[in-house]
Structure 1
Amino acid sequence: MWLIMSLSAVLGIVLAKQKFDAALLVDGKTKHKTCKNSVEGFEALTLWLTKQEVEKVHAYLEATGSYGEDLAVYLHDAGHIVSIINPARIKGFAQSEMIRTKTDKMDAALIARFCLAMKPKEWTPPLPEMRSLEALVRRVDSLIDMRSQEKNRLSTSHESVTSMIKEHIAYLDREIEKLRKQIDELIRKNPQLKEKEELLESIPVLGKATIPRLMAELDDLDKFNHVREMVAFIGLAPREKLSGSSIKGKPRLSKIGHAKLRKALYTPALVSIQCNPVMIDFYKRLKNKGKNEKVIVCAIMRKLVHVIFGVLKSGKKYDPNFKPILA
């Protein structure tokens, strides 16, 4: 395994859906490149690195869900070292440097400096079966979104196209069911996935649709040294506006994080308020303190993350009588 100290070239990368910005830091000098977030763009980055006379880099990408996975795998397969960083850590580093202006170009350079200083650990790509699970889960999400759009159109469409929309909805229903069966089969055939599924199934409020999503998006627990890091990764860490010694405004959720995981945890949080005695008690305590409903639900979601983290990290099924895991 290469260590960052053995490499003189560091590459910080900021990803978006359509493009990415890269900052190459070599011998204290920074150069920038913007490329498409596609195979064509990955090849353009490789060509650019060659022109800079750089054979190997330690590349650093923020954890941004599916946007950066293909690039991370591409760079890894090309022989580069890759590290994936929690965006919350980058934000803290930016605050320590008192950086206020924010652009993708500046963020890429910031990531490169952060990683040169902090030396995050090397990332390895998910196993093939995990990548298959991710692809299947995300395809289900896409079809569910498509079905919702069609159902919305149905109420306002002219009668001349109503039957076609209904046929398309029925087709999407069949495809979603087919994909879910593929997901079940994939998990059933893989002992590691099956073990993880059984651990998550021990948490009563997690349903059959939620568990594969959690498994797909939380595939590598080693990147989280503490549950706080998982909370920040998902985007459930509250933050306050600070000015001197005073607090301005109410605490609110950081917008950094994994929106799909937040969405996946929302319904289980609502269910737990109805059926889990510990969560019900927690809900009542927050309600008595005057917290609004949104703040309370987000707090419940954070508690669920603590439970999920504890179960997966320990490899032990959830024990409803072990209250400290929820408190």
Structure 2
Amino acid sequence: MQSQTNYAGIDISKLFFDVAISIDGRYEHYKFSNDEAGFRSLLKLLSLDSQVVMEASGPYYLKLACYLYRNGIAVSVVNPLVIRRFCQMRMTRAKTDKKDSRMIAEYGKTEKPALWKIPEQQVITLQQMEALVLNLNKEITALSNQLESFTHSGMLIRQLEKMIRKELVHKQKRLQELTDVMEKLAEQHYAEMLANLESIPGIGKKTAMMLIVLSGGFSRFDDHRKLSSYIGICPRIFDSGTSVKGKQRICKMGMSRIRAMLYVCTWSAKSCNRSCKELYDRLIAKGKAKKQALIAVANKLLKQAFAIATQKTKYNENYSNNICF
């Protein structure tokens, strides 16, 4: 007879993590330091039939998740938004680390999330580089806006303007260097996948690389719908009975940068990608708004990218139906 899985919920932060473990039908709560000593203390409380569930809380979960995985403990890493929605469904109002860890354990027991495995090193490195790229872009935008504001004031002295422009050039140079390193790393490990993705009309090299980074080489998601939801371009409809009516919008719970890149790709795809063009023309003929049609095209591109990457083939519009385009 197969033993029952014993779920443990972990709410983790930079310095500590709270653990809720079900023992004899009730939850026991523990608090440990987020370091090797805390990891060893937790491991003593777990058995081989335990499954630990934790949120993907920035970088803080990764070291503990890797430690448990290497010691034979089943681990699930869940999007924090999913846990938040689960708590809302349970009408949970209290917000404490102790309560959160228990709700995470309850989520594991109820939903039985998929098991996590350690990402490959190049995936982690590319994701860390992408985080740096995002921060640099924000800094460049903020500095550019500040320069424009100072210039319009009419009171900007030449010395300060030179300092700001010099800093802008420095940040832009760092951004280009980091982007070049990312491209080389992606080509080193995902050369075939990059080439296949770039064969899709409308998708360029930067978008292809970004999709590989976010999806862990298209290994993190079972189907294109989950990837679409993660990125945040899945449609969300406000329509309930006769009293609640609204426009169809995208669910902006994902990453703004990749959404923007995909949206730009749609302008080319709606003309040169046959499946995307047919979809766009059909929606426009039905009276749909252009933006709504372009969002549908973005989803179509994502579906094509998922099929191309997972089936290791190049785009061919004559055989699009055979690979789920």
Measure the CA separation in 2 of the matches of 1:318 and 1:246.
Answer: 45
Match status 1:122 vs 2:91: no
Q: Please tell me whether the aligned partners of residues 23 and 108 of structure 1 are also in contact (alpha carbons under 8 angstroms).
A: yes
RMSD of aligned alpha carbons: 3.7
SS in 2 for 1:11: strand
Residue-by-residue CA offset, 1:41-95 (whole Å, 9 max, x unaligned): 4669648847xx7245522245677675455445545664321346787688678
- Equivalent residue for 1:134? 127
Residue-by-residue CA offset, 1:260-295 (whole Å, 9 max, x unaligned): 432332221233234334323322322233323332
1:236 to 1:167, Cα distance in 2 relative to 1, 3 A: same
Q: Give TM-score scaled by structure 2 length.
A: 0.77
Deviation at residue 219 of structure 1 after TM alignment: 0.9
- Equivalent residue for 1:261? 258
Unaligned runs of at least 5 residues, structure 2: 151-155
Q: Map residues 137-152 of structure 1 onto 2, 5 A cutoff.
A: 137-152=130-145
Unaligned runs of at least 5 residues, structure 1: none
Residue-by-residue CA offset, 1:240-259 (whole Å, 9 max, x unaligned): 34546986323333343344
1:34 to 1:154, Cα distance in 2 relative to 1, 3 A: farther
In the alignment, which of 4, 10, 13 is matched to residue 8 of structure 2? 10
- Equivalent residue for 1:320? 317
Deviation at residue 314 of structure 1 after TM alignment: 0.7
- Equivalent residue for 1:187? 186
Residue-by-residue CA offset, 1:125-175 (whole Å, 9 max, x unaligned): 111122222222322222222212221122122234111111111112221
1:72 to 1:323, Cα distance in 2 relative to 1, 3 A: same
Measure the CA separation in 1 of the matches of 2:101 and 2:295.
Answer: 30
Q: Please tell me whether the aligned partners of residues 9 and 103 of structure 2 are also in contact (alpha carbons under 8 angstroms).
A: no
1:162 to 1:315, Cα distance in 2 relative to 1, 3 A: same
Measure the CA separation in 1 of the matches of 2:135 and 2:80.
Answer: 25
Measure the CA separation in 2 of the matches of 1:23 and 1:244.
Answer: 42
Match status 1:167 vs 2:166: yes
- Equivalent residue for 1:224? 221
In the alignment, which of 285, 289, 295 is matched to residue 288 of structure 1? 285
Aligned length: 312
1:145 to 1:207, Cα distance in 2 relative to 1, 3 A: farther
Q: Please tell me whether the aligned partners of residues 269 and 300 of structure 1 are also in contact (alpha carbons under 8 angstroms).
A: yes
SS in 1 for 2:129: helix
Q: Give TM-score scaled by structure 1 length.
A: 0.77
Deviation at residue 31 of structure 1 after TM alignment: 5.4
Measure the CA separation in 2 of the matches of 1:22 and 1:288.
Answer: 55
1:304 to 1:169, Cα distance in 2 relative to 1, 3 A: same
Max Rg structure: 2
Q: Please tell me whether the aligned partners of residues 64 and 258 of structure 1 are also in contact (alpha carbons under 8 angstroms).
A: no
Deviation at residue 297 of structure 1 after TM alignment: 2.4
1:29 to 1:220, Cα distance in 2 relative to 1, 3 A: farther
Measure the CA separation in 2 of the matches of 1:318 and 1:207.
Answer: 13
Match status 1:305 vs 2:298: no
In the alignment, which of 1, 20, 29 is matched to residue 24 of structure 1? 20
- Equivalent residue for 1:60? 53
Measure the CA separation in 1 of the matches of 2:93 and 2:37.
Answer: 25
SS in 2 for 1:248: strand
- Percent identical across equivalent pairs? 27
